[in-house]
């Protein structure tokens, strides 16, 4: 599915300084019953966001008007747990384009890259600084430049580089997906399939 291209993002952000945020929190299993990709943003962090009677939990950050923006900042080991791409969809469909953390779970990171959410891994110190600045002033902006592979805390005027392989980078810059690539080499794949024992 096509997604928005990503070059440079300047935005304030939503802080979630909790570690090991797992995919069951990002999108609980009972919301995985759709057969189309619709409505996932509404159920992002459902059980942290709403009480069982569907009223909002006042103390949860997504319900706090002070914080908004296209960048979600989470604690270490973000996205652990299941392979459900629905977690990445929920984040994208809610309106985030980037998640910053000091460590990402593997499958989650891959899913994000496949659907147009940029996972940005920074050092633990840099992450702490982002949290501090944002809690001090929720309007503090962060610049994420995929072109230069840097993330900058505008207020402190400090930056850190982040890693992404050049193939994925190119995909995100242009909004391409892997299937286009694979379909183009179908003949090679078919030939290869003849050499496999199964």
Give me the torsion for CA of 174, 167, 12, 71, rounded to 10°: 100
Kindly state whether residue 132 participates in binding other proteins, applying the rule CB under 8 A. no
The correct pick among 14, 90, 115, 130 for binding other proteins (CB under 8 A) is 115
Here's the x/- map for other proteins, 37-66, by CB under 8 A: it reads as: x---------x----x--------------
Residue 177 has a CB neighbour count (10 Å cut-off) of: 17
**Beta bridge mates, 151:** 144, 160
> Which residue's structure tokens are 């942290």?
48
Min. distance of Cβ 99 from other proteins in angstroms?
Answer: 15
The correct pick among 11, 28, 63, 152 for binding other proteins (CB under 8 A) is 28
Q: Tell me which DSSP letter residue 176 carries.
A: -
Residues numbered 90-109 forming contacts with other proteins, rule: CB under 8 A: 103-107
Min. distance of Cβ 23 from other proteins in angstroms?
Answer: 8
The correct pick among 14, 73, 88, 127 for binding other proteins (CB under 8 A) is 88
The correct pick among 10, 49, 129, 168 for binding other proteins (CB under 8 A) is 168
Kindly state whether residue 174 participates in binding other proteins, applying the rule CB under 8 A. no
Burial 15-46 (b: 16+ CB within 10 A, else e): bbbeeebebebbbeeebeeeeeeeebeebbbb
Kindly state whether residue 188 participates in binding other proteins, applying the rule CB under 8 A. yes
Structure tokens at 185: 């080499």
Kindly state whether residue 85 participates in binding other proteins, applying the rule CB under 8 A. yes
Structure tokens at 53: 């009677």
Structure tokens at 192: 């290869």
Cα separation, 115 vs 85, whole angstroms:
9
Residues that bind other proteins (CB under 8 A): 1, 17-20, 22, 24-25, 28-30, 32-37, 47, 52, 75-77, 80-86, 88, 103-107, 110-111, 114-115, 165-168, 177-179, 181-183, 185-186, 188-190, 192-193, 196-198
């Amino acid at each position: 599915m096509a997604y928005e291209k990503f070059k440079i993002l300047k935005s304030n952000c939503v802080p979630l300084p909790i570690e090991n945020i797992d995919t069951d929190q990002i999108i609980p299993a009972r919301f995985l019953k759709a057969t189309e990709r619709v409505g996932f943003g509404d159920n992002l962090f459902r059980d942290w966001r709403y009480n069982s009677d569907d009223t909002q939990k006042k103390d949860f950050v997504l319900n706090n008007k002070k914080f908004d923006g296209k960048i979600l900042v989470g604690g270490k080991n973000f996205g652990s747990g299941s392979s459900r791409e629905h977690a990445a969809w929920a984040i994208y469909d809610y309106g985030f384009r980037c998640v910053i953390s000091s460590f990402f779970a593997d499958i989650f990171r891959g899913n994000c890259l496949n659907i147009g959410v940029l996972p940005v891994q920074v050092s633990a110190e840099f992450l702490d600084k982002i949290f501090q600045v944002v809690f001090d002033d929720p309007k503090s902006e962060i610049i994420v430049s995929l072109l230069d592979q840097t993330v900058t805390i505008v207020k402190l005027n400090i930056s850190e580089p982040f890693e992404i392989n050049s193939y994925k980078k190119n995909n995100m810059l242009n909004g391409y997906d892997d299937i286009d690539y694979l379909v183009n080499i179908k003949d090679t794949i078919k030939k290869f399939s003849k050499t496999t024992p199964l």
